[in-house]
């Protein structure tokens, strides 16, 4: 994930009234110089869902390995 400058965006916290404390990814040059208007919400929900699918995959792998282990034993 890179912004219009080809730089990695940094995690910021919104100070806007309508979304206070909400985290988002913004251009590194935000409020410093010309920004490229890169903007993406960094919702914990999205990360959580991703994490959940990872965990589900790991659990499946463990189950498969346990079954194989039984076969070996």
Nearest distance in Å: CB 4, Zn ion: 5
Q: Provide the sign of the torsion angle of the four alpha carbons 61, 63, 64, 69, taken in this order.
A: positive
Identify whether the C-beta of residue 7 lies closer than 8 Å to the C-beta of residue 26: no
Q: How far apart are CA 46 and CA 72, in angstroms?
A: 39
Nearer to Zn ion, 34 or 45 (CB): 34
The answer to whether residue 12 forms part of the interface with Zn ion (CB under 5 A) is no
Least distance CB 35 / Zn ion (angstroms)? 6
Residues binding Zn ion (CB under 5 A): 3-5, 27, 36, 38
């Amino acid at each position: 994930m890179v912004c219009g400058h080809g730089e990695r965006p940094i995690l910021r916290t919104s100070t806007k009234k309508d979304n206070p404390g909400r985290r988002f990814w913004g251009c590194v040059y935000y409020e410093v110089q010309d920004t490229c208007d890169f903007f993406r919400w960094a919702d914990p929900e999205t990360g959580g869902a991703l994490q959940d699918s990872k965990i589900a995959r790991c659990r499946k792998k463990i189950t498969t390995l346990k079954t194989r282990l039984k076969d070996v034993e």
